[in-house]
Amino acid sequence: MAEAGPGATFLHFDDIDWAGAGAAVPSAPKELVEAARKTGARQKRMVTGDRGFYMNHNVMPAGFSVPTHVHDHDELIVVLEGGCTVLDGGPTMGANDAVVIEAHHAYGFTCGPEGMRFLTIRTGEAGFATA
């Protein structure tokens, strides 16, 4: 649960339930969401609009691929553990790497051999469209 203080909202990781994969992006393709759930992918919707921010804590297994897609808001991805390779010749990202993605920029990735734990931070609720 979130604790509100003067000018701040404190979010405690252990107090927020894990949601199934795809919970943060209702417009994600059902096939992708179902595939993610079957592999154990999951997410916590940490921030859902407080002061205009949205943040998800995501866990994806080794080898899981998110196809090329776009969102309708700018996005910051921060890799906490493991890593991924960005599709279409993009770089490999590892723990503590980050990328800022402009709204409507097409990207996708495949998780590395350790899977990936990462944060997505946006300034709006994410829409999803395949590119």
Q: Count of H helices and E strands in the chain?
A: 1, 11
Residue 70 pairs with which residues in a beta bridge? Answer: 129
Q: Is 30 helix (H, G, I), strand (E, B) or coil?
A: helix
Domains of the chain, with CATH numbers?
2-130 (2.60.120.10)
Residue 43 pairs with which residues in a beta bridge? Answer: 19, 58
Q: Going residue by residue through the chain (131 aa), what tens digit of pLDDT does each one get?
A: 577 677 899 999 999 998 865 555 666 777 777 887 888 898 899 998 898 999 999 999 999 999 999 988 999 999 999 999 999 899 999 999 999 999 999 999 999 999 999 999 998 887 766 76
pTM: 0.87
User: Tokens 């943040």 correspond to what residue?
Assistant: 55
